[in-house]
Chains A and B, each alone.
Chain A
Amino acid sequence: MKTRSQLNNKITTEGTGFRELVRKHKRRTYYLALRLTGDHHSAEDLSQEVFIKLYRSFDKIKGESKLSTWLYRVTVNTWISSKRKRSFSMLSYKDNASLTEMEKEKAVQENMLSFPAPDMESQDLKDHIENALNNITEREKAVFILRHYEDLPLRDIADILKIAEGTVKSLLFRAVRKLRSELSFYVEQPNFERAE
């Protein structure tokens, strides 16, 4: 790895510098990370981790056309693996008998947030949407975000995640069905019905 002064000299086979690529792609990568993680600090960390990975494999990047696919894939995969690592450490943490009272209280509050209370009118729609997205699997969430918010066609998503198009369809179908049942209170309301 080179020093900061040498960053501009690092170029792809097409001749584009690393800084130039960061400038072009940082917003898109950050926003995908933000949609996946749901908060600014995690999105910043995740997207910068992706750019560090890009820096390390910079010499192997064949062309800029493939770069956006690569960035999407690495962002999703890095997010999934960091989430799994975190849930694994949370598990071993929960097993630990030395959990303090404050931590226990915090865990109860977090638990309450992930399961909406029956009195749904009193809660914000935004929280319900975030909770619904947290209650679907990582792969379902990734496919849903790439299709719904990033507006990528199903075939491109299959290409990015290196899975069959049929699997993408089935993950998307499951995601929307689960979201529907999580948000059933709002779905039944007529003002949210889609106009034909």
Chain B
Amino acid sequence: MNNCIKSMKLFPKALYGELAGEEKKWFSLHLEDCERCTSEYNKMAATLNIMNERKLPHPEDSYWEEYSRILYRKIDVLGRQEGYFSRVKDRFIEIMAFQPRLVYAPALVLVLIILSLTAGKNFYSVPQDTTDTVLAEARSADPYLVNTTMDSYLERSKVILTTISNFDPVEDDVYTLDIPGQKDLSRKLLRDAEMLQSAPEIRDSRELLKLVYDLQMIMLKIVEMDEMTDEFEIDLLKLSIRNSALLFKINIEQIKKRTDERNSKTGRETGGKRIVS
């Protein structure tokens, strides 16, 4: 099986005669032994033979002069259009050069507004870290809040992990992954994870604590991800999500929680009936 995968990786080179040396020898030997790979390879080679039948119309020699003539005419027209815009631009710059007040006065006002906004933000805002820590401590002490935070933490993590797992680096464009959005959400989830790790309910459960920790590692990787990340980096991230079976673990936790809730509800209802009877 491993040899078949290895041989298929060599198909693109083999089909176009780009194999050489040891690789070529190994590939030929494998095809001699493997019927499945031979049949697959022959079908692909036959497909390329069929593709050679694609015949496109070839213009006559006289066309090429006409081609150049059309091209130069297009350049000429574009040149005239752009020339007009550049003349307008030059005129605008000329006017502004003689009227410096028109430029400097609005620029000065803008600088003053930015300075006052920056100063106001620095002097009058409460430091973010302190607020977050205080909030995290308060929330970790309340079992109801811990419970709801855990639910939303798992659900939102699931969304991120599913998006990344379903992303195909070869087929899809990287912008569809919305890396800035994923990074923002991951930052929020990292703050939630800190709170959850300090909550006694989570600390008591080894599986939950491990799950929160594993998710935290993935979120950290996402936060550190470059916005122009390459396919290989996303593939590695997908691999670590799959290897640690994170989506499976989240699903198990959610099922467990739902079962517990149903059991406690049924218990209450049965208890109620017993009192009535």
**A binding-site residues for B, Cβ under 8 Å:** 1-4, 7, 19, 22-23, 26-27, 30, 34-35, 38, 40, 44, 48, 51-52, 55, 125-126, 129-130, 133, 137, 139, 147-149, 153-154, 164, 167-174, 176-177, 179-180, 183, 186-187, 192-194
- B82 to chain A: which residues have CB within 8 Å? 1
> Looking at B42, B44, B71, B73, which has the most chain A CB atoms within 10 Å of its CB?
B71
Report chain A residues within 8 Å CB of B239: none
* Nearest chain A CB to B12 CB, angstrom units: 4
Q: Is B16 in contact with A183, judged by CB distance below 8 angstroms?
A: no
Q: Taking A51-B71, A170-B170 as contacts, is the C-beta distance between A27 and B64 under 8 angstroms?
A: yes
How does the 8 Å CB contact mask read for B212-239 relative to A, with 1 for contact and 0 for none?
0000000000000000001110000000
- With an 8 A cutoff between CB atoms, is B175 at the interface? no
* Known contacts A126-B53, A180-B44: A171-B75 contact under CB 8 Å: no
Residues 24-67 of B at the A interface (beta carbon under 8 Å): 42-51, 53-57, 59, 64, 67
Say whether B88 faces chain A, with CB atoms less than 8 Å apart: no
Chain A residues with Cβ below 8 Å from B8 are: 173
CB distance from B175 to the nearest CB of A (A): 12
**Once the chains bind, are A44 and B11 in contact (CB under 8 Å)?**
no
Nearest neighbor of B53 in chain A, beta-carbon distance: A125
B7-24 interface code vs A (CB 8 A; 1 in, 0 out): 011011101101000000
- B interface, size bucket: 35 or more
Chain A residues closer than 8 Å to B74, beta-carbon distance: 48, 52
Give the distance in Å from the alpha carbon of A168 to the alpha carbon of B16 in the complex. 13
Q: List 30 interface pairs A-B (beta carbons < 8 Å), by A numbering.
A: A1-B75, A4-B79, A7-B75, A19-B68, A30-B59, A35-B56, A38-B56, A51-B71, A52-B75, A55-B75, A125-B50, A125-B53, A130-B54, A133-B54, A137-B171, A147-B16, A154-B16, A154-B18, A164-B230, A167-B231, A169-B9, A169-B12, A176-B48, A179-B47, A179-B51, A180-B43, A180-B47, A187-B43, A187-B47, A194-B48
Chain A residues contacting B43 (CB-CB under 8 Å) are: 180, 187
- From B13, B57, B59, B75, give the contact of A4 (CB < 8 A): B75
Rounded to whole angstroms, the CA-CA distance of A13 and B187 in the bound complex is 50
List B residues at the A interface (Cβ < 8 Å): 8-9, 11-13, 15-16, 18, 42-51, 53-57, 59, 64, 67-68, 70-76, 78-80, 82-83, 170-171, 230-232
